[in-house]
Amino acid sequence: MSGAQEHVHVRAYELWELAGTPEGRDEEFWFAAESELSQPLHEKAPANGEAATFTRRASDFSR
């Protein structure tokens, strides 16, 4: 199995588990994983090469 196929396999398994491990829908999850992984990332790394930082709002801590 190639590296790309392994990524699809792992993601398809995650999607299958999230759906409650239904029987007979393996192709559905495989194609969903392929589609998901073929999409370009929407967020790009900063141009200066530094890692992006994320901050939390105070309201996030009250949950």
The whole-angstrom separation of Cα 6 and Cα 51 is 27
Tell me the two tokens of residue 24. Answer: 């007979």
**Three-class SS of residue 21?**
coil
Interval 2-42: pLDDT, tens: 888 999 999 999 999 999 999 999 999 999 999 999 987 65
Of 6, 51, 47, which is closest to residue 30 (Cα–Cα)? 6
Q: Which residue has the higher pLDDT, 48 or 60?
A: 48
Tell me the two tokens of residue 53. Answer: 């930082």
